[in-house]
Amino acid sequence: MATLELVDLAKRFSKKVWGVRKMDLDVNEKEFIVLLGPSGCGKTTTMRMVAGLEEVTRGTIHLDGKDITDIPPRDRGISMVFQNYAIWPHMTVFDNIAFSLKLKKMPKAEIRQRVQETADMVKIGELLKRLPGQLSGGQQQRVALARALAVKPKLFLMDEPLSNLDAKLRVVMRTELKAIHQQTEATSIFVTHDQSEAMSMADRIVIMKDGEIIQIGTPDDVYFRSANMFVAGFIGTPPTNFFNIRCSVDGEEISLKHSNFKLVLPLKDFSELDAYNGKELVVGVRPEDIAVDSSDKALFTNKVLVVEPQGSHQVVALKLNDAIVKTIVSADQSVKPGDSIGFNFNLKRLHFFNMETENRIKTASEI
């Protein structure tokens, strides 16, 4: 268990290519942090610098208050699980897990006990005599996890460890990894580009783009209070729908006019929008906050373009001007392409963004 502090951390590969431009991050003891973002945003480069596998261009790394920026990887007290597992094919499961313990010259009896305890924790206790070639992909991944956990590291790093597993096993392993974290209380950093993994596992999510942090927060923070349009569009499946709106203030009401609908909101609840009187802004509406409304009070009516059955629900897509808008409808509701349906927004769950900066406009309820 440890604390980690990254101060102005950066990695430059060439004059024009930055892997990481700037990282300032504090990781608390026992915390499970997820680095999330699209490919090439600097997630893995950040983790490799923390592990000592990548030279730092600028900045410092502190583990438990100690500067480890220039300390060799083996002396940092950090374990890392790689995307391709990197287990030795000629060694048994037991020897793979015990390898680092043997390097530490631990007594044989203690090694046997530590290996068995760790293997049981990740549910491969009965596979210790097998070679990796005799294991499934999921079992090999558990071997890599056990090897990293057996040394009881101060910091546990995982670089997309579930990406090579099939969809069903990934969901199972997400749950098991979170349970292992709760059991070991190891301070952990997990890298992924899969938002569902991040949302389900993280204490806090660090969303990255172009080598920089865009937002840090709990899963609820980044979902319900997205810092900007990038986060709102990246988090959530289907992603947030965006509408360009013209704002006008009339007495105690705010009118938000779109070419297909008009929203009227009380000024007292959305006073920050007063500054946008006569200007355009962007309204974000998540698919679950667009409801089918068959009454004459529907905000707008439109023809259904596509229906995507998802078992527990349906994703209904419609074309509004040149944009595709998606909403979530219950599975038992009969909806077909070509149907003309009324829709309404959940006005309490609207997201507002500055059109020029794309940053979130905080409303009175968030301040």
CB 143 within 8 A of CB 38: no
Can you give the length of the chain in residues? 367
* Cβ pair 51, 63 in contact under 8 A: no
Q: Are 130 and 93 in contact (CB under 8 A)?
A: yes
Higher pLDDT residue, 166 or 116? 116
Out of 120-129, 308-317, 355-364, which region has the weakest mean confidence (pLDDT)?
355-364
Percent of the chain with pLDDT over 70: 98
CB 86 within 8 A of CB 79: no
Mean pLDDT of 179-194: 91
Domain ranges of the chain: 4-229, 241-366
CA pair distance 40, 18, nearest whole angstrom: 10
b/e sequence 190-228, b meaning 16+ C-beta within 10 Å = bbbbbbebbbebbbbbbbbbebbbbbbbebeebbebbbb
pLDDT at 130 over 90: yes
Tell me which CATH homologous superfamily contains domain 241-366.
Answer: Nucleic acid-binding proteins (2.40.50.140)
pTM: 0.91
pLDDT above 90 coverage of the chain, percent: 75
* Res. 258: pLDDT tops 60: yes
Output the pLDDT for position 364: 57
Distance between CA 69 and CA 353 in Å, rounded? Answer: 39
Report the candidate in 142, 9, 179, 150 with the shortest Cα–Cα distance to residue 79: 150
| Class for the domain spanning 4-229 | alpha beta
Return the CA Rg of the chain: 25
**pLDDT value at residue 365:** 56
pLDDT at 103: 87
